Chains A and B, each alone.
Chain A
């Protein structure tokens, strides 16, 4: 299993600013993912954070808006850039051990409110 620490747990931000969310895993993991969950909704995959290379984004999400870093096998960041009220969501970091261990472990989430 893996324990994921995500911070900040919540933030209130002004329109037009950026917020960087950090995700730290207590062990080396193969895959890391970032999800968004709008109020009362399901999880939508934003991107796969690839170690040492550019993230792979899902349809509807772009690097300029959601730049992602993954400098090593235990750490990743997601930045929400030039925020608008529509970006108000819970952002969740997750990790798996790879194809031999398909289940995901999740951080406790970052609740973002944009005014």
Chain B
């Protein structure tokens, strides 16, 4: 399978703590994206990082990409109960618009 792997599978933290999720993938990529899914419904795009970028920020989100290790991490700082959701990485390859999704991390933030 070309699917990426994420770890941890599940993460529980207290409000105010930081949450870090990791994603590993198998093939060369054009970009890597992170999505959020609440309660098994539609996904929402969070952030995109291109293969020639190493780090990107958006609000409380920080994404890193290491193409030599084929891995990425998503850091959510100062987490809130509303951040409780599943988070998926997805890889985009050259010459195709398809995205391949990772296995996901279920984040639970306790108030």
Contact B31 A43 (CB under 8 A): no
Known pairs A42-B88, A43-B88, A102-B30; A109 contacts B98 (CB<8 A): no
Q: A75 interface residue, CB < 8 Å from B?
A: no
Quick check: is B3 within 8 A (CB to CB) of the other chain? yes
Chain B interface residue count, CB cutoff 8 Å, equals: 23
User: B3 touching A102 by the CB < 8 A rule?
Assistant: no
Q: Is the CB of B97 within 8 A of A98?
A: yes
Determine, out of B11-19, B40-48, B60-68, B72-80, the stretch whose residues face the partner at the interface. Answer: B40-48
- Please name all residues of chain B whose beta carbon is closer than 8 Å to the beta carbon of A6 when the two chains form the complex: 42
A43 to B33, CA, bound (A): 14
Task: Pick the contact of B40: A104, A107, A111 (CB < 8 A).
Answer: A111
Q: Which of A12-20, A30-38, A65-73, A80-88 sits within the interface?
A: A30-38
Taking CB atoms and an 8 Å cut-off, the chain A residues in 22-49 that contact chain B are 30-31, 33, 35, 37, 39, 41-45, 48
Interface magnitude class on chain A: 20 to 34
- B25 in the interface (beta carbon within 8 A): no
Of B44, B92, B101, the residue contacting A102 (CB under 8 A) is B92
Q: Which residues of A contact B92 (CB under 8 A)?
A: 102
Q: Which residues of B sit under 8 angstroms from A99, Cβ to Cβ?
A: 97
Contacts of A106 in B (CB 8 A): 42-44
Tell whether, in the assembled complex, residue A37 and residue B40 are in contact, meaning their CB atoms are under 8 Å apart: yes
A-B contacts, 20 of them at CB < 8 A, read A4-B42, A31-B97, A33-B98, A33-B99, A42-B88, A43-B88, A44-B101, A45-B99, A48-B97, A90-B41, A92-B42, A92-B43, A102-B48, A102-B92, A103-B48, A104-B45, A104-B99, A106-B42, A106-B44, A109-B41
Report which B residues bind A (CB closer than 8 A): 3, 30-31, 33, 35, 40-45, 48, 88, 90, 92, 97-104
Chain A interface (Cβ within 8 Å of chain B)?
A: 4, 6, 30-31, 33, 35, 37, 39, 41-45, 48, 90, 92, 94, 96, 98-99, 102-109, 111
